[in-house]
Structure 1
């Protein structure tokens, strides 16, 4: 496993973290970045930096990779807002997060502004609902 996607809920907002293990990097995909590509949410996501080595150690990742957990710190980097679409409302962050994840998994290279934007969110919401309805599995009671 080279990477993992983690949806992170920060106070009132969802962001996507793409953890790149070999690079020791966490890419932050924030649909409410400031125009210069930095995010005031970076400090909120920094807690993940402290949690990751512990989780990876308990999962046996460092042992399997023959790595020293203390020698591989993670850094956080915010994706620049000109590379990823930005929301212009106060409630579409979850849809943006899901679309970012879809594009990462499909290995679509940034910039993504020509792929989707705020104008497409209503259609993306509808597609998500249809997918859940047609492909969702009923919950079995325990």
Structure 2
């Protein structure tokens, strides 16, 4: 396992955090950036960055991996918003987080995401998610 995907709610918005356990770093994927193309959501996830080393230590991750535990908080950086599909409304962040996670899990290079989907595709993405839940929901 190279990374763990963690959807995070920042109070009024969902973002996706990709946590690289061995490296002690987090990449933040934000679909709602300001007019200048900047995301300031890193300020909203300090608790995650501080808690991760402790949680991993208590879960036995470091012992299992035979590595010394991180003693400092994880570091985080934004994925450059100019290469991420962005929402243009105030309520599609959850669908964007799900799509970002899907593309990461399938190993789709970040450089091709802008060509794969955007705000106009969100209704179809929502329908596909609802279909998957309906068809496969009984397996849970």
TM-score, normalised with respect to structure 2:
0.91
Unaligned segments of structure 2, at least 5 residues: none
- The corresponding residue for 2:61 is 61
Matched residue, 2:84:
84
Number of aligned residue pairs: 139
Report the Cα distance in structure 2 between the residues aligned to 1:75 and 1:38, rounded to whole angstroms: 18
The secondary structure found in structure 2 opposite 1:69 is coil
Q: 8 Å contact 1:13–1:93 — kept in the other structure?
A: yes
| 1:49 equivalenced with 2:64 (yes/no) | no
Is contact 2:52-2:73 (8 Å) kept?
A: no
CA distance in 2, matches of 1:37, 1:53: 31
Quickly say closer, same or farther: Cα 1:107–1:138, change in 2 above 3 A: closer
The residue that corresponds to 1:121 in the other structure is 122
For normalisation by structure 1, the TM-score amounts to: 0.89
Greater fraction of residues in helix? 2
Task: Encode CA deviations 1:52-75: one digit per residue, 9 max, x unaligned.
Answer: 001100111111222222456421
1:132 maps to which residue? 133
The separation in 1 between residues aligned to 2:38 and 2:68, in whole angstroms, is 30
SS of the residue 2:40 aligns to: coil
Q: CA deviation at 1:12?
A: 0.8
Which SS does the other structure have where 1:107 is aligned? Answer: coil
- CA RMSD after TM alignment: 1.8
